[in-house]
Amino acid sequence: MERKLGGLGSFLSASLLSVVAGAAGCGNSTTAGPPTGDGDGSVGTGPAMLTGTVYGASADTGARTPLASAGVHLIDQSGTELASVLTGGDGRFAINAPPGWLGFLMVEPGGGYTGYARAQESMQGWEVYDVVIPEEAGVARECERAGTPYDPAKGLVAVGINPVSQAAGGEGATVSAPHDPAFVLAAGAVIVGERLPPICAAGVAEGTGGCTTLARSNNIFFPNVQGTSAAVSPLSPSGGTCSLRYGISAWLVAPHVLTNVDVDCM
């Protein structure tokens, strides 16, 4: 079902899409020295240090601003916090993690922005992982467009999909914890559903075979997720197979926190 609501000049094409476009797994190891921010971690016995900058994205334009004094946490898959630091005045942080560790990096920025969490894997050396966080008012606006009032006391799960084909659609996901109807952001619309709709071929009418003529994202948002963790199960399209990028069985869910989950299809 599609809900064609409003224009493209708002949060729809700005901060929420930029946040998921910069999702987990996009970090690159580097041999550069430590950051200039005030953050400093102390956990771990190996040379695995995560560094980066936390940015806030405008709900209206997507413009990014470094966020000072944002809390950056490393949380293991059981929900235990391993380390916590604050970003410096330039939004930068540095936090140590055990080498080979797989858990969650969670940011609590305050100041009208949502929290953010993603899977995080540590290796060796200096690793740079920037974080982009949306304004909470923009998150609420998109949920309302999908017909669901945003509840900041619950979580938001965003499944970013690397599709088999941009046009074919069919990739999707389910979230085990109770939540309100999932939706996909598109140009001028919010498309409700747990799978990416196919893009209509030239000359094919909107809605034929469930297709859309709108440019859409490859991200599926699950609003108002209840509890403290949830399993995410990829849905494969016809002729393809999808799997989680990181083998995590229980994804972190927290109040007013957007949890990003990456799914790769082939």
pLDDT in tens, the chain (266 residues): 333 333 323 333 344 555 554 443 333 333 333 333 333 333 334 557 889 999 999 988 889 999 999 999 999 999 999 999 999 999 999 998 888 889 999 999 989 999 999 998 887 666 778 899 999 999 999 899 899 999 999 999 999 999 999 899 999 999 999 999 999 988 878 899 999 999 999 999 888 888 999 889 999 999 999 999 999 999 999 989 999 999 999 999 999 999 999 999 99
For 15-134, give the CATH class. Answer: mainly beta
Q: What are phi and psi of 45, to 5 degrees?
A: -115, -5
CATH topology agreement for domains 2-8+151-265 and 15-134: yes
Is residue 68 within 8 Å of 53, Cβ to Cβ? no
Q: In angstroms, rounded to a whole number, what is the distance separating the alpha carbons of residues 149 and 167?
A: 30
Q: Where are the domains of the chain?
A: 2-8+151-265, 15-134
What pTM was computed for the model? 0.84
Residue pair 101/24 in contact by the 8 Å Cβ criterion: no
How far apart are alpha carbons 178 and 266 in whole angstroms? Answer: 29
The total of other beta-carbon atoms located within 10 Å of residue 155's CB is: 30
8 Å CB contact between 131 and 15: no
Q: What is the CATH number of domain 2-8+151-265?
A: 2.60.40
